[in-house]
Amino acid sequence: MNNQRLLPITSGDNFRELGGYKTTDGRQVKWHKIIRSGSLGNLNEQDQQFLSIYGVDYDIDLRSKEEALNDPDRIPENEITYHLNSLFDEDQTDNSKDSKDLDTIMTTDENYGINHMKQVYRNMITDKGALKAFNYLFSILLENTTENKSVLFHCAAGKDRTGMAAVFILSALGVDLETIRNDYLLTNAVVQHVIDRRIELATSEGANSIMQKNLKVLYSVSEEFLDAALDEISKKYGDINNFLHNGIGLSDDDITELQKNYLI
């Protein structure tokens, strides 16, 4: 794992730089420009100031309105601009829910987790609200033209909604799919301790083996999830470049401007 990529945030999880990734034409993504993360709801003052000093100017919250109200972001006032940019009306990923809140199907259907998450990823490609949110995220990225100023985007765990946003951003910048896939999967290594802790808690509260398996799936990322989204893109748009243009709504000029601002 590239420790330079993992930000030293102690009161939050999965805070990662997208800088340094190489593009297919030999350029690379600038550092201090694009940050992906999990929840900012528990950030202490030290971590808030770190993000401000690091250069974060925009905080783009991909969670639902309810999630944001229940666990509001903690960021320095007047230093970082907050934007609630909900991908879905509710947390379809189940990551903001306690294990007690999940349906009893979790304890009886061992395939619930994988089938549920694959559908969530397909929804991120087909849902009009999700496409609108991705478009807005790119509009903020296009707005961020100041050198060494970052856009931070996040959801609850920083893995699914955030993960697919990162896939689309890196694709628009010209990063190859293998590199993008590796960045997506890096979440599992970064938050393994969080996954283990949540499974242990659920087990202590009586979760059976089927529920433990489903929870592990829900709390992780998987190539099967990503491939479900990519397959949906292939089916409806042909390829990811067409999706960026005809699904999210980026123009050729937008792509050129993004690469100008975020690549060296």
Q: Tens digit of pLDDT for each residue in 175-215? A: 999 999 999 999 999 999 999 999 999 999 999 999 999 99
For residue 40, is it within any domain? yes
Cα distance between residue 85 and residue 172, in whole Å: 20
Identify the domain containing residue 144 by its residue range. Answer: 16-262
| In a domain? residue 220 | yes
How many residues are listed for the chain in this entry?
264
The pLDDT mean for the chain works out to 94
What's the CATH number where 204 sits?
3.90.190.10
The tokens of 141 are what? 């990225």
pLDDT of residue 168: 98
Q: For residue 5, tell me if it sits in a domain.
A: no
Q: What CA–CA distance (Å, rounded) separates 44 from 46?
A: 6
Is 8 among the domain residues?
Answer: no
CA-angle at 152, arms to 151 and 154, nearest 5°: 145
Nearest to 124 by CA among 152, 181, 164: 164
Q: Is the pLDDT confidence value at 229 over 90?
A: yes
Report if residue 252 sits inside a domain. Answer: yes
Q: Give rounded-to-5 percent helix, strand, coil for the chain.
A: 55, 10, 35
Identify whether 229 is part of a domain: yes
142-177 confidence digits (pLDDT tens): 999 999 999 999 999 999 999 999 999 999 999 999
4 domain residue, yes or no: no
If you average pLDDT over residues 24-43, what whole number do you get?
98
Number of domains in the chain: 1
pLDDT at position 222, please?
98
Asked if the structure places residue 67 within a domain, the reply is yes
Whole-structure pTM over 0.85, yes or no?
yes
